[in-house]
Every structure is written in structure tokens, then in C-alpha cells.
Amino acid sequence: MNLTDDNLLEFQMLYKKHFGTEITKEQALEKGLRLIRLVEAVSRVVADEQRDA
């Protein structure tokens, strides 16, 4: 998955608003991709639990 420059800029703004710290574009890319992988993993677990219920 790729993040656009607009995605990264928005992530940087949200990160600064939430944590009070500015991050670089490279850091935003790394953290953004990690966040996406985390959400995907949690979503798979929830979907599996709902399917098995």
C-alpha cells in the first residue's frame, strides 16, 4: 500500500495535534504504514471472531 503526499501531510498534522511533536515525511510514512498494518491485523481477528460466532 502506498500513501500519497496528501495522506502523509494529513498524518503529520494529526500526529502533531495529538502528540504535540512534528515528524518528518519519512517518519509519517513509516508510522502510517505501521498503523495500516495494525488496523488490518485487528480487522482480520474481528472478522474471524464474527465468522466463528
Please name the amino acid found at residue 28.
A
In the structure grid, which three cell numbers stand for residue 29, read together? 510514512
Q: How far apart are the first and last CA of the chain?
A: 31
Cβ(23)–Cβ(31) below 8 Å: yes
Listed by start position, the domains of the chain span: 22-53
Q: What is the pLDDT of residues 1-53, one digit of tens each?
A: 789 999 999 999 999 999 999 999 999 999 999 999 999 999 999 999 898 87
In the structure grid, which three cell numbers stand for residue 1, read together? 500500500
Cβ(36)–Cβ(1) below 8 Å: yes
Q: What is the pLDDT of residue 53?
A: 77
CA atoms within 13 A on the CB side of 34: 7
